[in-house]
Structure formats: C-alpha cells, structure tokens
Amino acid sequence: MKIKVVKRYGTAFKDRLYIPAIIEGLKITAKHLFKNVNDIKSVDVLEYPEEQPRDISERYRGLHRLTHREDGSVRCVACFMCATACPSSCIFIEAVERTDGIDEKMPERFAIDLLECVFCGYCVEACPCDAIRMDTGIFSVIGSKREDFVMEKEQLLAQTGSFGDTFSRCHNAGEKQDD
Amino acid sequence: MSTAALIVTLGSIVLGALLALMMIPVLVWLERRIAGLIQDRVGPNRTNILGFRLGGVVQSFADVIKLVFKEEYYPGHIKTGRWLYIIAPAITFSAALLAFMVIPFADTVQFGGESLRIQPLPVDYGVLWYLAIGALGMIGIFFGGWLSHNKYSLLGTQRAGSMGLSYELPLGLAVVSMMLTYNTIDFNEMVRWQSGTVLGVVPAWGILVQPLAFIIFVVAIFAETNRAPFNVVEGESEIISGHMTEFSAMKFALYFMGEYIAMNSASAVVITMFLGGYQLPWLSTEMLNIHFGIVALALMAVLPLFLFVIIRWMRRNNSVRTTVSTDGGRDFETKVLTYALIGMGVVLELILGCFVFFGGGGTGTAIAVILLQIAVFVFKLMCFNIFFIVVRWTLPRFRFDQVQTLGWHYLLPLSLLNIFVTAIVIVGVGL
C-alpha cells in the first residue's frame, strides 16, 4: 500500500517562537486597517438601504410569481406537482374545473406561505407548464403580521418578471404550437 | 490639606474615573470599527444624534441604553448564593476599575512645599496594588461562573482559574525583574527612571532596557485580561460564553465593561512600566519645566500641521459615495467639526503663544506641563489599546492546553531566567 506522508509544519524553531509569525500577521491586518482608514470609500461594501444589490442575475431565486398565457389567463393547470415537490409544504392549491375551454383545470386558490418557504426552487423545476417562476428579483418582502406573508394567487399573478419574459414559454396540449 | 492639594486630588480622581469609564464606549466602538476595517468592512457608522455620527461612536451609547432597558432575567434554577451571583459582575467591574486608579497621569508636582501626586489613589506601592486588585477580578468570574449551575459556565470558570494561576506567575516574575531594574514599587518613580537615557541617546524606556520582560509581561497581561489569543475563558465556539452564559442585561454588561476596563488598565500599566508612561522621549519633567517656552514653540508649529492632516482626512472620508443619493447631513457635520477643530486649535495656539512670549516658570508652567503629560499619557494609552484590538483581530484563539503549555513551559522559565540575568547585571554593574 502506498503511504503519503504529510509534511507537518510548525515544529521549526522559528515557528515555535511565535513572535515572527505574529509580526507577519500584524503586518497584514495593519495594512488593511491603514488602507481602509485612509480611504473608507474604497471599501467594497454596499451602503444597503441606499445602494441596492447589483448582482441579482436571471438565476437568482427571488419572490415567486405565476405566469400568464397569451390571453392573460393563469397558466397553472393545478397539477399539484409543485406542492408535491415542495420540501417545506408551503404551497396550498385548491383546484377547480376550467370552463372557458382553454384547458381542463385551473387553481381556485394558489397560495405560498413565504415564512415556510426555503426558496429552494424545486417548485419551478417541477412545474411542467412553466407556470411558476422565481424571476421577480424581489429579495425582501415586508409585512406587519404573519398573514401578510401568505401570497395568494392574485398577488402572485400580479408580479412581473425582472428579465423580460412576461408570458410562459411552455405550450400545453390543445394550444397552437409555434413549430 | 491645602486648596491646591484638594484640587489636585479631586482632579485626578475625576480624570481617573473619566479615563476608565468614558474609555469603555470608545473602546467598544473602536473594537467594532477596527474589526470591520481589518476585514474590509465598514463597521457601525449609522447611529446619530441630530445627524452627528462622529464616525459611529454614538452606537456604543445606543447599545448601553438597550442593555439598561433589557429585561432583568434571573435563572430560576439558581437556589443557593443568589445574592453572590448577582454581585459577581460588580466585583469584576470594580476590581478592574480600582486597578486603574494607581496609574500616574503626570509627574508629581510641588505646590507650596507639598508634593502632590497626579494619581487618583496617591499611594507609593502602585505595582503591588495593581497586581493584588487586578487579580481580584478573577474572584467575580469564579462566583459568577460557579453559582450559575451551568456546565458551560463551570468550564469557563475552571479555564479562567487555571489560566489565571499559570499566567499570574510569569506576570509577577516579569514585574519582579522590572522592580529590580527600577529599584522601586512606585509607578511614578518607574516613569521618572525612564525619563533618562541609555548610552546618551536612547530613551531609557523599559521596553529597550528589558525587552524580554516586556514580551513576557505583554503576553501574560493579554492572558490576564482574557483577550484574544487567550480568550479561551469565553471560547464562543466551545463553551458558549463561559462564565457569562447565564447573565443577561446589565449584569452581562458589567462583565463586558469590566473586560474593557481591565484591558484599559492593562494598557496603562504596560505604558507606565515599559513605554515611558506620561513622558515624552528625551524630555524629563525638569527639562519641560525649565524649557517650556521652546516646547510650546514646537507645539505651536506642529499643531496646525496636525489639525490640517486631521481635517483633510475627515473631509475626504466623512462623506457618502456618489452612488448614494441622500447625503444624510454628512457635509453639515464635517463643516461643524472643521470649525470646532479650528477653534480649538486657535485657542490652544493662543495659550501656547502666551507661554512663548511671557516665558516659563511658576505655577502656570507647572499646570501646562501636567496637562501636556496627561495628553501624552492618553495618546500612548489609546495607541496601546488599539494594539490590543488589532492583535485580537489578527490571531486565532489558542487551544486550552496550548495556553497552559505556553505559560508553564516557556514563559515561566524565561521569566525566571530574566530575573537571574537582571540580578547578575545589577550586582555586577553595581547600580
């Protein structure tokens, strides 16, 4: 069997003296300290409430939204895939039969409890019709009581995506296919 | 007791209390700001009173208000010794405060045949007082930790106890070697000894006369004050908060503030014993008294330069970024502070100018020398406190057995060796 011998550090006389290493460390911290004291504006931090994050990309999992069809009606077909995939069981769907002939089923109620949600994005992955997305770019939701954080269907439909795409990219059976 | 003695005594007591107590919010703020700046963050800078942030130091006062108004919670499981549990933080706090009170802030002055110490407690055995009272702070930790009936507290207390035991020895032995060198146990005499020079040019500061004792003393004092890298007593990652685990609100705040006062006292002792105390290098008190006109002239030249640098730094840094739309009163604050600094500078220049034109000597010069020495003392105190803080944010915590090994295997033999060599040199040279 091949044995790899790992070299141990810290046993040399210079290391056991501690003082040279401490001075090296102090040099590094003092360098940062003096540089930043001299020019506080060079510190690369966000002055948060005034400066908003600049790094919210298309892949950022923000607040959820429900997408629309081209005619503006809800895309969701109430298949319960997202609620099944949800690890924190925070999606509440009540299905109802769809009578306008566009599809067979739609949600009567579609609510997400944001206090339970862990923003894992599994619901987005699970959705077969691209009906739920997390591309709003909203990272902070404010409310004064717990009930404020339960997002109902109307609130989720009212959100718009931050990156173009207003309508769902998905095409269910029964709709006109592009290709 | 004459009027002069009364004024000097009261003045030193007030100054001592102010230096110890008002230093706490400043030190807490400095700790957080310096930690932030070292880690390329900004640190607390938002709290303000009427738009005046003063770099964020207001945050500490807001924290104190928060701690005062927090709920006083007494753990129900503590059945015996509850009164001792409650006064334990006060013991640590007052021990640290009292230990600070024997530091001379300026040289002893002669007024009307009386010699008056600028020292809140005018005693001539300051070193012994500091060692005795400073170590008393450990008692408060024992009571608090033991009576908490909590295993984390007990572990922290046990660590504090064994660490105190193993580091009191090198600390005391380093002090003994300094006692041999200075041939006194009076802090003021020690500082007077350091106002001389070695070999004609080098100021006879303790750090240059006894470098090994300085290193041993500083390491031991870091351990005594439970500061990083020796803060195994608190060891957040292992034992939550050590002896402070069961304490809340003001009881916790007393422990917390006691730690900072202990650090302040430790800095004061280090600069008094090793860094020339209130003395400027090469300028003893007698020289200052005789040649104060020249010193005042030099100060007059340096002061505007100093103020110019400070104001330029403030104007550059006390403003918001252009990407932040709201100014938030930064410009107004900078303007007011600039005028205040310039006004202070003008007043100081006028006072110093009087000394230059009307010459030295007399009571006025004596008072001016005292004030100058106090200013030098405070400056050195702040510098060493900042060193304390920078070390904390540089070094990781030692493991507990490493702390003990360092204390018993290295520091103790080294300090004994140092005493031995010091004694031989003193006998050989015949000082």
Model pLDDT for residues B190-224, shown as the tens digit of each residue: 888 888 777 777 788 888 888 889 999 999 999 88
Query: Which residues of chain B does A51 touch, with a Cβ-Cβ cutoff of 8 Å?
Result: 321, 323-324
Per the model's pLDDT, the better-predicted residue between A178 and B369 turns out to be B369
Nearest-angstrom CA–CA distance, B48 and B337: 14
Locate the domains of chain A by residue range: 8-40, 65-158
Is ipTM over 0.90? no
pLDDT tens digits for A44-59?
Answer: 888 787 778 888 888 8
Task: Return the pLDDT at A175.
Answer: 53
Name the band, by pLDDT with cuts 50, 70 and 90, for residue A179: very low
A33 touches chain B (CB under 8 A): yes
Q: Is the pLDDT of residue A177 over 80?
A: no
pLDDT in tens, B360-409: 567 778 888 888 889 999 999 999 999 999 999 998 888 888 888 888 98
Contacts of B37 in chain A (CB under 8 A): 32-33, 36-37, 40, 43
- In the prediction, which pLDDT does B56 show? 82
CB pairs under 8 A between A and B: 57
- The pLDDT of residue B323 is 66
Q: Which of A102, A170, A161 is nearest to A178 (CA)?
A: A170
From chain A residues 69-128, the ones with a CB under 8 A of any chain B CB are: none
Mean pLDDT of chain B: 85
Q: Indicate yes or no: CB of B390 within 8 angstroms of CB of A33.
A: yes
Spacing of C-alpha A102 from chain mean position: 31
Nearest to B235 by CA among B139, B158, B148, B136: B158
Check CB contact of A36 with chain B, cutoff 8 Å: yes
What's the pLDDT score for residue B415?
Answer: 92
Q: Tell whether A19 is within 8 A of chain B (Cβ).
A: yes
**CA nearest neighbour of B120 among B3, B268, B221:** B268
Query: Is the confidence at residue B68, as pLDDT, over 60?
Result: yes
Is residue A123 over pLDDT 50? Answer: yes
- Nearest residue of B to residue A19, measured between CA atoms: B215
What are the extents of the domains in chain B?
3-282+361-429
The alpha carbon torsion through B113, B114, B117, B121 (nearest 10 deg) reads 170
> A44 vs B40: CB contact, 8 Å cut-off?
yes
Interchain proximity A45–B326, CB inside 8 Å: no
Please state whether the peptide bond connecting residue B229 to the residue before it is cis, i.e. omega within 30 degrees of 0. Answer: yes
> A30–B393: do the CB atoms touch at under 8 Å?
no
Q: What is the mean pLDDT of residues B346-354?
A: 86
Distance from CA of B118 to the nearest CA of A (A): 34
Q: How many CB atoms lie within 10 A of CB B354?
A: 13
- CATH assignment of A65-158, given 3.30.70.3270, 3.90.1150.10, 1.10.600.10, 2.40.30.60? 3.30.70.3270
Confidence of residue A112 (pLDDT cuts 50, 70, 90): very high
- Cα distances (angstroms) measured from residue B218 to each of B36, B175, B275, B321, B421: 25, 11, 12, 41, 19
Instruction: Say if A23 is an interface residue toward chain B (CB within 8 Å).
Output: no
Question: Which ranges constitute the DSSP H helices of B22-57?
Answer: 23-38
CB contact under 8 A, B215 and A19: yes
B151-169 mean pLDDT: 88
Yes or no, beta carbons of A50 and B325 under 8 Å apart: yes
